[in-house]
Chains A and B, each alone.
Chain A
Amino acid sequence: MSRLNRCFSELKAAGRCALVPFVTAGDPEPGVTVELMHGLVAAGANVLELGVPFSDPMADGPVIQKASERALLHHTSLHDVLGMVKTFREQDGNTPVVLMGYLNPIERMGYDTFVEAAKEAGVDGVLTVDLPPEEAADFADKLKRAELSPIMLLAPTSDARRIDKICSQADGFVYYVSLKGVTGSKALDIDSVRDKLSEIRTHTDMPVGVGFGIKTPEDAATVAKFADAVVVGSMLVTQIEDLAIEDIVPTLSKSLAELRAAMDA
């Protein structure tokens, strides 16, 4: 059983919702990332989502854009990100790691080379933001053959036909983008998210995660009541902007622990 499947089935058995923090690899500098990953796990993360920096993050709001820019100041490449996962795996063999990024760095490396390197580094899933199911078949197949999970996005604009199509390609879990907008946007409409999740569950038995726009422990606790995973990114990453390097791990860990506590209350 894959790390992702094991993680979600254990949480389900315990009646708990997964907490999935997102941080951009190499933000604000590459030396911080692995320690931050361990810190987030210690604070209650069940799955880690690691952003691969890209020069043109079209689906991200200003917070994640700036994180990408900070990481790219240090030329954090896809190759470097895989190296970080490999280092992380030396001490943590259990926590699933999902890479989240855009297609061009993967295309440039080559699908086969990337899949092999990701497998070897200990990656569990890959979420390619700008790869909808219409274009994803080849890459998703290669991932699955290597027993890596293609994590696919669902949106408020996905109709029943698209939900089916997406779920047939996805593995591990599906990621519901909870609003029409970019990462870190405001105004999460809890009722519509709950309704859409009910709809999605009529199409798939896979765990359903919710992300984009979850900002507070209260948001997280509310969404945790009906989702299998809560993804938080911008609310963590925005703190990095103003923190001294040595304060990043303790501060973000504390924020995440507060979310965890709220979700478990």
Chain B
Amino acid sequence: MHNPLNKALPDERGHFGQYGGMFVAETLMGPLQALQQAYEQYRQDSGFIAELNDELHHYVGRPSPLYHARRWSGHLGGAQIYLKREDLNHTGAHKINNALGQALLAKRMGKKRIIAETGAGQHGVASATVAARLGMECVVYMGAEDIERQKMNVYRMRLLGAEVRAVTSGTKTLKDALNEAMRDWVATVDDTFYIIGTVAGPHPYPAMVRDFQAVIGRETRQQIKAQMGRLPDELVACVGGGSNAMGLFYPFIDDADVGITGVEAAGDGLETGRHAAPLCEGQPGVLHGNRTYLMSDADGQIQATHSISAGLDYPGVGPELAWLKDINRAKFVAVDDKEALQGFKDLTRLEGIIPALESSHAIAYCSKLAPTLSPDKVIVMNLSGRGDKDIHTVANYEGIVL
């Protein structure tokens, strides 16, 4: 049987070049190695793969469409833009692909309880959803600031039966929620599985999350070949931790003719320092178990980040993306809050699709890229999530009280 979860990198200790690795306290090394062994076993297990594919099809609704955004492309007057519609997945974003994969692995490992960290709440909702589906206990760690900003997703998680624990340490956002989830896991690992939501964290998480998300890129390859008879010229995805980006990019990495661009959050503007763009403006360092590009100050303290999109509001990035940057296989740009909001409005008005603010960063970059390319060129953009969760943020930004 074809095994979709094959891989060349990382090496056996989780390195992508100088990035990745396992930078955790000794207490976590045993549990991480156990996870690595279980993942190595089940990713080659035909029963596991069949169960995952069945759930992806019948529960998540895959394959997600690859949609030619004709009106938007025509409006921009250049390349044809195709949207990979991860917004149409169950729970409204790509996060469910990974949450489902890890939860099924947790079940096989005999774990009764899952924990997760969340920023905007999409990964928390996805984890709470699969926990409900599989009858597992679920605790979601979320920064106190984010709980305030994302009340609707907090309530969704509670409706799904998850316990949402407020994290009040540090900057009270996503990075602190990840710290707290790790602290829970180190004490509860015997019965608990930690579902990390992005392609970061200690090995094997970056590779495992990428593999579970790579279904996005694999479908895209088949769909664009079926629709256009060839591979795309450019791939574009937003990058916070980088799971939707790695999911789309990974199956195309060996296709040298396919350009790859990741779009980070420039927040108030890269020049202001108030942004979340470690690949564009940061430098290598170690956080959350892996070496990668980080936003840290001259003393090595991790800096507070800013983006209108809570899902991109993270000071690190997946180590494989750091490696793709260094070997020049992918380029990384940044788009500020205002440009992202314009992208949000453009897609809503021109295509009748309300995108997540995260994905709106990729949209804004496509708006710049497409007009520079001829109409026979093809861009595939990952529309990683839908924008219902962001309606209040957008209204707020415009001074409208709903």
Report, as a range, how many residues of chain B touch the other chain: 35 or more
What are the interface flags for A30-67 relative to B under an 8 Å C-beta threshold, 1 for contact and 0 otherwise?
Answer: 00000000000000000000000111111101100110
Residue ID in chain B nearest A186 by CB atoms = B187
Interface residues of A in 78-104 (CB under 8 A from B): 78-79, 102-104
Q: Is the CB of B13 within 8 A of A156?
A: no
What are the interface flags for B171-189 relative to A under an 8 Å C-beta threshold, 1 for contact and 0 otherwise?
Answer: 0000110010011001101
In the complex with contacts A104-B285, A104-B294, A135-B22, A72-B301 CB distance below 8 A? yes
Q: Is the CB of A55 within 8 A of B170?
A: yes
Residue ID in chain B nearest A61 by CB atoms = B183
Q: From residue A20, how far is it (CB to closest CB) to chain B in Å? A: 18
**Taking each of A66, A179, A181, which has the highest tally of chain B beta carbons within 10 Å of its own beta carbon?**
A181
In the complex with contacts A104-B286, A181-B186, A182-B183, A58-B25 CB distance below 8 A? yes
Residue ID in chain A nearest B302 by CB atoms = A55
Q: Is the CB of B298 within 8 A of A56?
A: no
Q: From residue A83, how far is it (CB to closest CB) to chain B in Å? A: 13
A177 within 8 A of B: yes
> Which chain A residues border B288 with CB–CB below 8 Å?
56, 58
What are the interface flags for B11-46 relative to A under an 8 Å C-beta threshold, 1 for contact and 0 otherwise?
Answer: 001000000011111111111000000000000000
Q: Is the CB of B187 within 8 A of A177?
A: no
Q: Is the CB of A59 within 8 A of B170?
A: no
Q: From residue B168, how far is it (CB to closest CB) to chain A in Å? A: 9
> Which chain A residues border B284 with CB–CB below 8 Å?
107
A225 within 8 A of B: no
What are the interface flags for B159-176 relative to A under an 8 Å C-beta threshold, 1 for contact and 0 otherwise?
Answer: 000000000011000011
Q: Is the CB of B187 within 8 A of A56?
A: no
Residue ID in chain B nearest A102 by CB atoms = B286
B254 within 8 A of A: no
> Which chain B residues border A132 with CB–CB below 8 Å?
22-26, 29
Q: From residue A264, how far is it (CB to closest CB) to chain B in Å? A: 30
Q: Is the CB of A108 within 8 A of B186?
A: no
In the complex with contacts A56-B175, A75-B299, A109-B300, A155-B183 CB distance below 8 A? no
Residue ID in chain B nearest A60 by CB atoms = B183
B77 within 8 A of A: no
In the complex with contacts A158-B26, A177-B25, A182-B183, A79-B189 CB distance below 8 A? no
Residue ID in chain B nearest A75 by CB atoms = B299
Q: Is the CB of A177 within 8 A of B301?
A: no
Q: From residue B32, how far is it (CB to closest CB) to chain A in Å? A: 9
In the complex with contacts A75-B299, A104-B300, A107-B285, A177-B23 CB distance below 8 A? no
Q: From residue B202, how far is it (CB to closest CB) to chain A in Å? A: 9
Q: Is the CB of B170 within 8 A of A155?
A: no
Complex Cα distance, B183 from A181, in Å, reads 7
B296 within 8 A of A: yes
A157 within 8 A of B: yes
Q: From residue B102, how far is it (CB to closest CB) to chain A in Å? A: 20
A154 within 8 A of B: yes
Q: Is the CB of A180 within 8 A of B22?
A: no
Q: Is the CB of A181 within 8 A of B300?
A: no
B287 within 8 A of A: yes
B259 within 8 A of A: no
> Which chain A residues border B296 with CB–CB below 8 Å?
104, 108
**Taking each of A55, A108, A185, which has the highest tally of chain B beta carbons within 10 Å of its own beta carbon?**
A55
Q: Is the CB of A103 within 8 A of B23?
A: yes
What are the interface flags for A118-154 relative to B under an 8 Å C-beta threshold, 1 for contact and 0 otherwise?
Answer: 0000000000011110110000000000000000111
**Taking each of B186, B299, B302, which has the highest tally of chain A beta carbons within 10 Å of its own beta carbon?**
B299
Residue ID in chain A nearest B23 by CB atoms = A130
A106 within 8 A of B: yes
Complex Cα distance, B300 from A104, in Å, reads 5
A217 within 8 A of B: no
In the complex with contacts A104-B300, A185-B187, A59-B294 CB distance below 8 A? no
A166 within 8 A of B: yes
**Taking each of A58, A59, A78, A132, which has the highest tally of chain B beta carbons within 10 Å of its own beta carbon?**
A58
User: Which among A58, A75, A106, A155 is the interface contact of B300 at CB below 8 angstroms?
Assistant: A106
B375 within 8 A of A: no
Complex Cα distance, B301 from A79, in Å, reads 12
Complex Cα distance, B205 from A88, in Å, reads 43
Residues in B lying within 8 Å of A, measured CB to CB: 13, 21-31, 169-170, 175-176, 179, 182-183, 186-187, 189, 284-289, 294, 296, 298-302
Task: Pull 29 A–B residue pairs with CB atoms less than 8 Å apart, ordered by A.
Answer: A54-B301, A55-B170, A55-B301, A56-B175, A56-B302, A58-B182, A58-B289, A65-B169, A65-B170, A75-B299, A78-B299, A78-B300, A79-B299, A104-B301, A105-B299, A106-B300, A107-B285, A107-B286, A108-B299, A109-B300, A130-B289, A134-B21, A135-B23, A157-B27, A158-B30, A162-B26, A180-B187, A181-B187, A185-B187
8 interchain residue pairs of minimum CB distance: A157-B30, A105-B300, A108-B300, A181-B187, A77-B299, A155-B27, A153-B26, A59-B25
Q: A56-B287, A180-B27 are in contact. List 6 more A-B contacts (CB 8 A).
A: A58-B25, A59-B183, A59-B186, A130-B25, A134-B13, A177-B25
